[in-house]
Amino acid sequence: MKKHILPAIKLSFVTIIFFCVVYPFAVWAIAQAAPNHGKGMLITHKGKQYYSNIGQAFTQDQYFWSRPSSVAYNASGSGGSNKGPSNEAYLKEVQARIDTFLVHNPGIQKSEIPVDMVTASGSGLDPHFSVQAAKVQVKRIAKCRNISEARLEELIAQQTEKPFMGLFGPEKINVLKLNIALDDLK
């Protein structure tokens, strides 16, 4: 018994030191090399600070709407809804989002609505949406802000982020950055 207890105590002590001291220090040291020293990607606009890597709620007609969030954009508890595509409650929720989108965007057909405008991401905090999700909202915003649709299309093109290394992932747009650029147009 003594043969097994002493090595177990030693191993416990070593793992406690590693996971409570060495590993947290290593993560902290790596974060110091990151932009903003590991404190997130902050954007300051009109005296307020926003995290550009966390989804923000935009639901006013004069802004590009964000992707829906299953956690109400609460970064302290990210997560998906965990409801499958055949779940009746989930289907009703998606249908309600489609109906709301169609009411606020007259002239748009249901088939033109990109899926990312009516479904939440896996984390519920995705700050990006597709280029198509931005383009489908152009008519509404142009009308609300009295801006030409061509100018909004230019803004979308300027804010479009290309795939990583030109290969990995689709083109996407950070909704917060797009709406800040939209506010700065006037």
Question: What is the domain count for the chain?
Answer: 2
153 in the same domain as 100: yes
66 in the same domain as 28: no
46 in the same domain as 20: no
In terms of residue numbers, what domain contains 23?
A: 1-38
49 in the same domain as 17: no
54 in the same domain as 29: no
95 in the same domain as 10: no
90 in the same domain as 16: no
- State the pLDDT at residue 124: 75
Quick one: average pLDDT of 47-60?
A: 82
30 in the same domain as 95: no
160 in the same domain as 112: yes
Q: How confident is the model at residue 151 (pLDDT cuts 50, 70, 90)?
A: very high
Torsion from C-alpha of 31, 33, 39, 42, nearest 10 degrees: -140
Q: Which residues pair with 168 in a beta bridge?
A: 164
In this predicted model, what pLDDT tens digit does every residue of 70-107 receive, in sequence order?
Answer: 887 777 777 777 788 888 988 999 999 999 999 999 88
In this predicted model, what pLDDT tens digit does every residue of 20-44 receive, in sequence order?
Answer: 999 999 999 998 888 777 777 778 7
Q: How confident is the model at residue 186 (pLDDT cuts 50, 70, 90)?
A: low
Mean pLDDT of the chain: 88
132 in the same domain as 70: yes
76 in the same domain as 20: no
Q: How far apart are CA 130 and CA 112, in angstroms?
A: 13
pTM across the whole model:
0.76
